[in-house]
Amino acid sequence: MKIKRLRSKPASISKTRWAAYATAGVATALAGSQSMEAAIHYSGILDVRFPRHRDRAHTFQLDQPGDFLSFRRFAAFTFGENEFAVYGIVSATVRGYEISSGTFVAKLSFGQAISTGLFFYGNRGAMEYFGWDDRGSGYIGFRFNNGTGIQYGWARVWMSGQPANGFVVRDYAYADPGEPITAGQRSSSDAQAPDQGSLGWLALGAAGLLAWRKSRSQATR
């Protein structure tokens, strides 16, 4: 008696199902990329006030102890004096100007690249002149190094105007080492979202994600 052997046919997957798998893969890669792409750290709205007629000092933490921002208000002077400083474990400095009368923080506009422009030697400067005496908001650019590389960031300040120019620290943000950031940018997606071509890279998993990040960094530069 002969025993018939049954050959099983390889399971066929419809094009529709393949499309569903591909879509799910892209969605998974996108979700993973969002957690891996946490390149910019945003403080949220703070609104810490430095009143016109009162001395006050306050610090704001960056990525780890030893890295922080510092704001001071000295009300004893005729019109008051406001100071900003940034501290880094290895080094830190501020966008601004060094002139004969001291170091002064540059007032940046929304969207300006933080890494370009003049950084003075020290880590602190006065928020006076160069537009800071006007009522309204401006951005401070800073950089710091905790030993893993240079990181750039910004702080948004609202000035009450002269006389006795008090101010409010609205919020701030900083990027991971090697990542670009512009004044007012709160997340990596603010600068550039993945395009249709990048979806194919994301579907390839980690290798695709690295290719996407490389292309995004090159485009930003």
Residue ranges covered by each domain of the chain = 40-186, 189-221
pLDDT of residue 130: 87
pLDDT of residue 191: 58
pLDDT of residue 100: 86
User: Using CA atoms, how far apart are residues 30 and 39, in angstroms rounded to an integer?
Assistant: 15
| pLDDT tens digits, 42-58 | 999 999 999 988 899 99
Helices (H) and strands (E) in the chain, counts: 4, 12
User: Using CA atoms, how far apart are residues 198 and 189, in angstroms rounded to an integer?
Assistant: 14
> Which residues does 170 contact at the CB level (< 8 Å), separation at least 6?
45, 46, 47, 137, 156, 157, 158
pLDDT of residue 76: 74
pLDDT of residue 16: 55
pTM above 0.75, yes or no: no
pLDDT of residue 140: 98
Q: Which residues of the chain have pLDDT under 50?
A: 3-13, 18, 20-35, 192-206, 208-209, 212, 215-221
Angle, CA 189 vertex, CA 123 and CA 153 arms, to 5°: 0
pLDDT of residue 45: 98
Q: Are 174 and 141 within 8 A, CB to CB?
A: no
Q: Return the structure tokens found at 110.
A: 């929304």
pLDDT of residue 190: 78
User: Using CA atoms, how far apart are residues 171 and 184, in angstroms rounded to an integer?
Assistant: 9
pLDDT of residue 44: 97
